[in-house]
């Protein structure tokens, strides 16, 4: 009986997290407010984030500065466990870790090597998500970028 009560409590907590998660929704990249050294900047990107019961499912569609379209998806718990990424040529695994209600850190890997780390923060009003990224290009150069995403209605 205690186990059933504990399971019911966990389900309620997960449901409340989904309802209150500022990350859940559809986001569009604001290219003009973002920085992508060394460039070129993406031409377009949208991100759909959903609560799945175990964490967050992310589906991203973008067109990079060279016109190459990428559609990727992953479903990751928020405990730092690595999860597979489908559809991305540059990363094959990602882990998300919840820092607080409005902050998640992410580590993306390709072939077991870290490609980039992110700090993802949703603004207090819930309208903007800022992704601060530190990464390494395929040719070994270090970079930093800042992506500003705006919530779509």
Domain ranges of the chain: 2-151
Residue with tokens 């466990």: 81
Instruction: Determine the pLDDT at residue 39.
Output: 76
Torsion of Cα atoms, 48 then 49 then 51 then 54, to 10°:
120
Which stretches in the chain have pLDDT values below 70? Answer: 1-20
Tokens of 108: 């993306």
Instruction: Determine the pLDDT at residue 124.
Output: 97
Beta bridge partners of 82: 95
Summary mean pLDDT of the chain:
88
Instruction: Determine the pLDDT at residue 116.
Output: 97
pTM of the model: 0.85
Torsion of Cα atoms, 84 then 88 then 90 then 94, to 10°:
-30
Fold of 2-151: Lipocalin (2.40.128)
């Amino acid at each position: 009986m205690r186990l059933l009560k504990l399971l019911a409590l966990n389900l309620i907590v997960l449901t409340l997290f989904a309802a209150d998660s500022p990350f859940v929704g559809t986001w569009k990249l604001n290219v003009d407010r973002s920085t992508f050294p060394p460039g070129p900047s993406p031409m377009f990107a949208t991100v759909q984030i959903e609560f799945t019961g175990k964490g967050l499912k992310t589906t991203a569609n973008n067109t990079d500065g060279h016109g190459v379209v990428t559609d990727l998806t992953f479903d990751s718990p928020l405990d730092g466990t690595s999860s597979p990424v489908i559809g991305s040529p540059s990363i094959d695994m990602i882990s998300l870790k919840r820092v607080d209600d409005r902050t998640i850190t992410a580590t993306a890997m390709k072939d077991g090597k870290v490609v980039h780390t992110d700090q993802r923060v949703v603004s207090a009003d819930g309208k903007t998500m800022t992704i601060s990224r530190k990464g390494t290009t395929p040719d070994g150069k270090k970079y930093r970028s800042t992506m500003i995403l705006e919530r779509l209605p």
